[in-house]
């Protein structure tokens, strides 16, 4: 499988404060390290699930890939070309070939523009020829199973599911190679979340897409992803094939996540608590392994020495001194 997207040693950090007084202060080392040393590949035609709890940096990672959040270190290679620099210009080609779906489908559509105008906007921005705007909008709406009349609606007149579909249509406007989907089913009812995922699966086949799906929903991502990347506090802690991770998680955090998911079967109620404590503040990262404060199997070494991200098989890696067997 060819690599479509390569991320190597990517870090994102923000200066903590930029008030006027900071210019005069000697200590300018205060940075919020949101992402730390992320290395991750996405193969052509692959669906990668990016999983983590709030504050894990999963959304920031997706945004950094498109240059919407400036990276402070690391390289991004897309479709054989390295992205040089952090400017909007450097990301121009990539934003033409990769599209993003946002977590809040209504809020991510410009509120005073009609759906039709929003759908043809990618063409206009990238100077793609467009013979008939109405026809192009209708074609995109048909692609996601919406009637052409929706082109005349405003975003706030759409239901959550309909706005999702418009988001999908907009992402596909320029026949992208890759789609980054941030929580594609957030806010949808169980009975309709499958519709969006099935639609995405169908379009993946039709257009030869590769997906990065950002989510906290393990039950769902299990059915749609080929590989998983688990994040904790801005770092990758485990990467591997979805089936393998569900069968045998190697990182204690991954296992805790899997076990914390409530099971919709009263006969399989959990007797004990999978994980205690809360995610530490990113301002106050634990020394050593960042998960040791909540880890059930942490030992002395974990409190002092940060584990490396170790590959144990092709495409599989875990950041743990004592991976589970």
Partner 1 sequence: MTGPLLSVRGLSVNFRTPQGIVRALGNVSIQAGAGEVVGIVGESGCGKSTLAAAVGNLLPGNAEIAAGEIRFRDRDILRLGSDAQRQLRGREIAMVFQDPMTAFSPVLTIGEQLIEFQHQMTDVDKAEKRRRAEAMLARVGISDAGLRLNGYPHEMSGGMRQRTAIAAALLMSPSLLIADEPTTALDVTLEAQIIYLLRTLRRDYNGAIVVVSHHLGVIAELCDRVYVMYAGEVVESAPVDALFHQARHPYTRALLECDPARLDQPAEFLPTIAGEIPDLTVLPDGCSFAPRCALADDRCRIRPELTSLSEDHAARCHRVSP
Partner 2 sequence: MSSAIDPRQLAAGAEPRPNAGPLRRALASPMGAFGLTIVAIIVILALFAGLLAPYDPLKIDVVHKLEGPSAAHWIGTDNLGRDTLSRIFYGARVALGVACVSIGLAMIAGLLLGLVAGYGPRWLDGILVLFFDSMSALPMIMFALAVITVLGPGTGTLILVIALVSIPGYGRLVRAQTLGLKRSDFIVAERSLDAGPARIILVHLLPNVVGPLIILASMDIPVVIMLEAGLSFLGLGVRPPTPSWGSILYDGYNALRSSTTLVIAGGLPLVLATLGFTFLGEALRDGLDPKLQRRGLR
Provide the binding-site residues for partner 2, judged by CB under 8 A: 18, 63, 66, 68, 88, 91-92, 95-96, 99-100, 102-104, 107-113, 121-122, 125-126, 145-147, 149-150, 152-154, 156-157, 170, 192, 195, 198-199, 202
Per partner kind, with CB cut-offs from 5 to 8 A, the member of partner 1, partner 2, none near residue 147 is partner 2
Per partner kind, with CB cut-offs from 5 to 8 A, the member of partner 1, partner 2, none near residue 108 is partner 2
Told to check if 220 binds partner 1 by CB under 8 A, we report: yes
Per partner kind, with CB cut-offs from 5 to 8 A, the member of partner 1, partner 2, none near residue 261 is partner 1
If the CB atoms of residues 43 and 161 are measured against partner 1, the closer one turns out to be: 161
* Residue 251 near residue 319 (C-beta atoms within 8 A): yes
Told to check if 260 binds partner 1 by CB under 8 A, we report: yes
If the CB atoms of residues 76 and 230 are measured against partner 2, the closer one turns out to be: 76
Instruction: Find the angle CA(65)-CA(71)-CA(76) to the nearest 5 degrees.
Output: 45
Among 117, 174, 201, 306, binds partner 1 (CB under 8 A): 201
Burial of 225 (0-12, 13-18, 19+ CB in 10 A): buried
Report which of 113, 104, 213, 100 is spatially closest to residue 163, judged by C-alpha positions.
Answer: 104
Q: How many CA atoms lie within 13 A of 234 on its CB side?
A: 21
Q: Which strands make up the sheet holding 3-15, listed edge to edge?
A: 31-43, 3-15, 73-78, 81-82
Per partner kind, with CB cut-offs from 5 to 8 A, the member of partner 2, partner 1, none near residue 149 is partner 2
Q: Torsion angle of alpha carbons 123, 128, 132, 134, nearest 10°?
A: -10
Residues 133-162 touching partner 1, rule: CB under 8 A, are: 159, 161
Q: Which strands make up the sheet holding 235-241, listed edge to edge?
A: 98-101, 178-182, 210-215, 47-51, 227-232, 235-241, 316-318, 310-313
Per partner kind, with CB cut-offs from 5 to 8 A, the member of partner 2, partner 1, none near residue 278 is partner 1
Q: If binding means CB under 8 A, how many residues of this protein chain bind partner 1?
A: 42
* Residue 42 near residue 5 (C-beta atoms within 8 A): yes
Among 190, 284, 300, 325, binds partner 1 (CB under 8 A): 190
Nearest-approach distance from CB 19 to partner 2, in angstroms: 11
Among 32, 82, 124, 219, binds partner 1 (CB under 8 A): 219
Told to check if 243 binds partner 1 by CB under 8 A, we report: yes
Told to check if 274 binds partner 1 by CB under 8 A, we report: yes
Instruction: Find the angle CA(261)-CA(216)-CA(5) to the nearest 5 degrees.
Output: 135
Nearest-approach distance from CB 63 to partner 2, in angstroms: 7
Told to check if 241 binds partner 1 by CB under 8 A, we report: no
Per partner kind, with CB cut-offs from 5 to 8 A, the member of partner 1, partner 2, none near residue 270 is partner 1
**Structure-token pair, residue 161:** 């599911």
CA-to-CA dists, residue 244 to 124, 159, 236, 260, 315, angstroms: 44, 37, 17, 18, 11
* Residue 56 near residue 234 (C-beta atoms within 8 A): yes
If the CB atoms of residues 50 and 146 are measured against partner 2, the closer one turns out to be: 146
Beta bridge partners of 43: 3
* Residue 61 near residue 38 (C-beta atoms within 8 A): yes
Crossing angle of helices 133-143 and 115-125, in 10° steps, is 110
Beta bridge partners of 76: 7
Per partner kind, with CB cut-offs from 5 to 8 A, the member of partner 1, partner 2, none near residue 301 is none
Nearest-approach distance from CB 302 to partner 1, in angstroms: 18
The contact set with partner 1 (CB under 8 A) reads 53-54, 159, 161, 189-195, 197-198, 201, 216-220, 222-223, 242-243, 256-257, 259-267, 269-270, 273-276, 278-279
């Amino acid at each position: 499988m060819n690599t479509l997207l390569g991320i190597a040693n990517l870090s994102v950090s923000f200066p903590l404060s930029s008030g006027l007084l900071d210019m005069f202060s000697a200590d300018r080392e205060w940075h919020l390290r949101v992402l730390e040393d992320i290395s991750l590949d996405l193969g052509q035609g692959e669906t990668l699930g990016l999983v983590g709890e709030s504050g894990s940096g999963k959304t920031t990672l997706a945004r950094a890939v498109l240059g919407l959040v400036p990276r402070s270190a690391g390289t991004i290679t897309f479709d054989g070309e390295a992205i040089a620099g952090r400017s909007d210009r450097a990301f121009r080609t990539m934003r033409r070939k990769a599209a993003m779906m946002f977590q809040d489908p209504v809020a991510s559509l410009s509120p005073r523009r009609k759906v039709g105008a929003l759908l043809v906007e990618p063409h206009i921005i990238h100077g793609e020829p467009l013979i008939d705007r109405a026809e192009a909008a209708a074609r995109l709406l048909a692609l996601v199973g919406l009637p052409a009349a929706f082109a005349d609606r405003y975003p706030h007149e759409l239901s959550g599911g309909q706005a999702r579909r418009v988001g999908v249509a907009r992402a596909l406007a320029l026949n992208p190679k890759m789609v980054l989907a941030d929580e594609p089913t957030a806010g949808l009812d169980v009975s309709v979340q499958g519709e969006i995922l099935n639609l995405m699966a169908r379009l993946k086949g039709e257009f030869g897409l590769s997906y990065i799906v950002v989510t906290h929903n393990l039950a769902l991502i299990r059915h749609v992803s080929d590989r998983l990347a688990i994040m904790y506090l801005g770092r990758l802690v485990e990467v591997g094939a979805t089936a393998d991770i569900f069968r045998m998680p190697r990182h204690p955090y991954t296992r805790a996540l899997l076990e914390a998911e409530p099971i919709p079967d009263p006969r399989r109620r959990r007797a004990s608590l999978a994980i205690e404590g809360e995610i530490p503040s990113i301002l106050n990262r634990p020394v050593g392994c960042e998960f040791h404060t909540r880890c059930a199997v942490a030992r002395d070494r974990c409190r002092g020495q940060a584990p490396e991200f170790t590959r144990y098989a092709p495409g599989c890696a875990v950041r743990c001194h004592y991976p589970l067997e």
